[in-house]
Amino acid sequence: MIMNLKHDLCAVPRQFQICGEFLHAEPYGSGHINDTYCALFDQAGTQVRYILQRINHSIFKNPVALMENVQRVTAHLAGKLGETPDASRSVLTLVPARDDRAWHCDENGNYWRAYLFIEKARTYDAAQSPQQAFEAAKAFGQFQKLLADLPAPRLHETIPDFHHTPKRFARLEQAVAADAMNRARLARPEIEFALRHRADTSVLIEAGLPERVTHNDTKINNVMLDDQTGQGICVIDLDTVMPGLALYDFGDMVRTATSPAKEDEQDLSKVRMQLPMFEALVRGYLASAGSFLTTAEKQHLGFSGKLITLEIGIRFLTDFIEGDTYFKVHRDGHNLDRCRTQFRLVESIEQQEDAMNRLVESAL
């Protein structure tokens, strides 16, 4: 049995209603916030995998409210998918804890949840082809569509003002003014870049777009693609599902699916917005969301990519200046590297804005 020094990974899996013998759990995935593990159980001679996650409660301040959202959203999706083929692989399924709650709180105050493992599907940190971008976007659009009639009450805001770009900008300005770690001197060009883009930050908020139930973290690696069909089978990572703008989701797809480079790539010459990927995203997203999006939303599809890329760049930069307290980092300057890729991508989008808008027009 493997003991993890950070958490008791022998005790936690047994707190869920999972039959069989717990074998071991290993860190899984490449997320920046929560701790994700793949837990293996022996069930009558068959090895069965589960996803086990510790919710980062210094970022998600109210894990119980968060789990209430996740329960409501997954139940609604499961109800809608009903008897469709592969329904059980098309929505995350929570495994209840021994006390029948959707989470387990350990003796150190850590909140844990378990999901059935979706087999024969995987996530990609970058889109490998326009077809993958199409399928991912279609799945995220379908996710929004299925949640459009989620019954009241409004979902909890698990992180208030999560995509309020002007507030993210203001926080950067505060961080630079305080410069508590004496790091601003290392990021002058990036700070200047952000300041030059101040006017962009309020465009979506002032565009009068409708509030919807949105995912808010639609990185390409938050949708599982089926190994056999390549289709987007299941949208995952539901911690930030809450009221938002549809374009927050589309924008994050542009940020993470149009560039071939990793989010923390140090060779910036590899970072670029590829038009064929963007076109595939537009077509995939409109295939599922086109029926409910307003004209104003459709007109801002291209801009949303620039905005969300700028916003996440601002967040990485802020975290670098504040001392890497939010995103997990694995090397010195990691958040600054991430910021640089985002800002390089913003530039690449700016260079191709007209072509992007023409593509959107032709897809409508």
Q: Is 232 in the site for ligand ADP (CB under 6 A)?
A: no
Closest approach, Cβ 309 to ligand ADP, in A, equals 18
Q: Which partner in Mg ion, ligand GN1, ligand ADP, none is near 240 (CB below 5 to 8 A by kind)?
A: ligand GN1
Judged by CB under 6 A, the residue of 34, 304, 318, 335 near ligand ADP is 34
Cβ nearer to ligand GN1, comparing 217 with 297: 217
Closest approach, Cβ 31 to ligand GN1, in A, equals 4
Binding site for ligand GN1 (CB under 6 A): 31-33, 59, 217, 219, 222, 237, 240, 263, 312
Cβ nearer to ligand GN1, comparing 126 with 359: 126
- Tell me the DSSP string of 291-345: TT--HHHHHTHHHHHHHHHHHHHHHHHHHHHHTS-SS--SSTTHHHHHHHHHHHH
Closest approach, Cβ 21 to ligand GN1, in A, equals 31
- E strands, the chain, are 21-27, 35-43, 46-55, 94-95, 104-105, 111-116, 121-122, 212-214, 223-226, 232-235, 242-244
Checking DSSP bridges between strand 46-55 and strand 111-116, what pairing results, if any?
A: antiparallel
- Restricted to residues 41-60, the positions that interact with ligand ADP (CB under 6 A) are 51
Q: Which partner in Mg ion, ligand GN1, ligand ADP, none is near 348 (CB below 5 to 8 A by kind)?
A: none
Q: Is 263 in the site for ligand ADP (CB under 6 A)?
A: no
> CA geometry: angle at 228 spanning 225 and 229, to 5°?
65
Cα–Cα dist 132/290, whole Å: 19
For the CA atoms of 293, 307, 349, 359, the dihedral, rounded to the nearest 10 degrees, stands at: 10
Closest approach, Cβ 353 to ligand ADP, in A, equals 30
Q: How many residues bind ligand ADP (CB under 6 A)?
A: 16
Binding site for Mg ion (CB under 5 A): 31, 222, 237
